[in-house]
Chain A
Amino acid sequence: MRLLALVLALSLQASEKSPVTVLRGAKVYTAAGAPLEHAIIVIENGKIAAVGKEIPVPPDARVIEAAGKTIIPGLIDPASRLFLPPGERSAGSAEQTVLDALDLYQRDYREAVEQGVTTVYVGPASLGIVNGLGAVVRLDAAHTILVKEAALRLTLGASGGESSTALERYQSYPQLKQAFESARQYVEAGEKYRKDLADVEAKKAKKEEAKEPTKPKVDPRQEVLARALDPKGTLRVRIEVHTADAIALALQLAEDFKLRVILEHATDGGPAAEAIAKAKTPVVVGPVFRYGGYSVDYLNHSTATAAALVKAGVPVAIGSFGDEKAGQWGPGASRFLAESAALAASRGLTRDQALASITLEAAKILGIDKTHGSIEKGKAADLVLLNGEPFESGTVVEQTFLDGAAVYTRRAP
């Protein structure tokens, strides 16, 4: 008996090493087009080598029969608290990175993997107005950091705790403006120094007399803000906003400094939907499950916000936002990412939009959509095998694949 188990284990191990895996016969929601019935997905070197209906199965491929099942892309939580120690909140500053606060030995992430989540964005917890850099973390055993510095997080409202006051917003807006104004001057000073230096070099070459310019001091905080201001840069700016008033201020800030802005929460985003759409600003909506209290920031909380924004043409991802300000105390909300999208679907999102909001749209907002977020050729083989239609009661995750490897397999009940 024991020998048999050993042989079985060894043969399983051997087949795991087979270079090509094929998932055959499932209905596939690619998140990038119409669902494919009875489809074939070919996985090679952790990537999707092919997906479609009429695809030859490579001869030595390990074939997983998935007829009657459904496959969706690995879920991406664009606002998670996984790996952050409970109560982790600090004032923060621009150059700080959340990676230094992460407790990668926490095991909560496994429950998220069991529910099909393969990638999360974790932002710095905040008490200040400029809080530091967030990162994109893969939920593999190694917790691979996919993007070290994915976005700079700012706060316009709710910075000090459960609720912001009008005075706080009134103060934080000019403070943020001042911070970017000062960063702009820092950039200009650097540019002037480089120009002066070039002039000096030129004069020296002609044996003329020249006075060395003073080198400006390098300031790591200003460097980060400068990257956010750089028109050729990639650093995104995520601004926490709740009320429609705070949203208007955030959009103004984005326009004044030409920032690549993403709004977080947008709790009262419904009335501001047209303005957000006009500014072409993506939004990470959430938390959909919101409990307790009647703070100003959450006064108009609605599970219909995601749908209102999508209808206005705003790119929307849904995040779990498991944090204290949302009336929650643990890091466990990523487990219910699919339920969050489902509840948003009950208030006006189509099911396709709901699925996209936790896969491809989330990938776009995190800047990883070239490699993740949908089931398309060349992308990472992050796949979730379901026993039925997504968002239905009774549908469970049977297997989660990350880079083509099964990182979770459901035990028979």
Chain B
Amino acid sequence: MRLALVALVLLAQSKPDVLVVRGGRIVPISGPEIENGMILIADGKIQKIAASIEIPAGAKVLDVPKGAWVLPGFIDAHSHLGSAFDVEESTESLTPEARAVEAFTSRHPDVRAALGSGVTTVALAPGNGNLVGGRVGVVKLNGQRYDRALLRTIAGTKASLGGEALRPDREPTSRTGAVAMLRDRLRDPKSDLLQSPLFVHATTPGEIESALELQAAFKLKMTIVHARQAGDAVDRLAASKLPVAFGPLFVSDRREIFETPGRLAKAGVPLAFITDAPATSEEHLRAMAAFAVKYGMDRDAALRALTTVPADILGLSKECGSIAEGKAADLVVWTGDPLSLASRVEVVLVDGQVTWRGDDK
């Protein structure tokens, strides 16, 4: 059944670097949906999307049946995938030089599971155990060795205003202390924190306020990470124009938290979902979007929250996040609407290569 659903048709004298994805409902995110469309891929990049494309001689064809959906690979904007939380040097309050990508294990079983859930790109972040935990990096789940999976060694710097960064045996021991230390660091015009985009862990309205004040004072390029209790800070977040990397959502959360992503998106806040894996799993990324839609989020905003918004936040918007000419051919064929949890992934292409299939165990 599965084999019949997606058949790779190898034509004679195939040139391995040209591929045409044919059929299915193409959901580019950045443009209108195309029913039964085609995508031309060469050298790992998307060359053309149209209702009909002439198949170049020697191209491979990936036939997608009617009923299947083709979307860009999902992007998780905040994860510790394959790193098992081994990403904080918490006895020090400031370790900006630490790089989260260096704890990544490309052969971790969760990495295969992530691909099978339609996630192709993951931001790896330091933990919350110190005030400035280190550099956020990005890996492409291309099934390759760590060094070949690296997309960005440094995409930004992680800071935390959460309780976990406070310790009795070193500074800071309080949020006031945490904000003061960050301010002190930022006053130095040569501070690397001024240059690098900051990913600030802030969950409660109070933590969010502190982050917004630092941003306003120093004109920082900032993303608010988690924001789970942002229900009372929706207006201030919207006024700040800052993006939010929201989540994770747990099935035991209060209704108010489930309603928050929809409220933030409606107020104009650019919102991306995050798994914070292994706090949840990459398999949970689209489930969060599905839950948010159930609790009132616009479905287009929910799809952007898995694709274009995280790409923007991570500085990848020219490279991936949507099905558009010139972008990486990171494509996922779903049996149906990915926001319906009963749909499943059939095939995953990363940089135009089939990296995962439905019968992969």
Contacts and interface: CB of A to CB of B under 8 A. Distances in A.
A331 B254 CA distance: 10
Interface residues of A, number: 33
A57 interface: no
Interface in B266-319: 278-281, 283-284, 287, 290-291, 293-294, 296, 299
B342 interface: yes
B61 to A, nearest CB: 26
Given A328-B251, A339-B291, A393-B293, A291 B284 contact: yes
Nearest to A81: B252
Contacts of A336: 251, 291
Contacts of A328: 250-252
Contact of B278 (A292, A322, A330, A345): A292
Top 3 A-B residue pairs of the complex, sorted by shortest distance between their CB atoms:
A330-B252, A393-B339, A342-B341
Contacts of B339: 393
A333 B342 contact: no
Contacts of A294: 84, 278
B324 to A, nearest CB: 24
Interface string A316-346: 0000101000001111110110010011011
B290 A339 contact: yes
B144 interface: no
19 contacts: A111-B255, A287-B251, A291-B250, A292-B280, A322-B251, A328-B252, A329-B252, A330-B253, A332-B251, A335-B251, A339-B291, A342-B341, A343-B342, A345-B341, A346-B344, A393-B290, A393-B337, A394-B293, A396-B294
A155 interface: no
A88 to B, nearest CB: 14
B340 interface: yes
Interface of A: 111, 287, 289-294, 303, 320, 322, 328-333, 335-336, 339, 342-343, 345-347, 351, 354, 391-394, 396, 413
Interface in B49-84: 84
B340 to A, nearest CB: 4
Contacts of B342: 342-343, 345-346, 351, 354, 391-392
Given A330-B253, A333-B252, A391-B342, A289 B337 contact: no
Given A294-B84, A347-B344, 9 more contacts: A287-B251, A289-B251, A289-B287, A291-B281, A291-B284, A293-B278, A346-B341, A391-B342, A393-B337
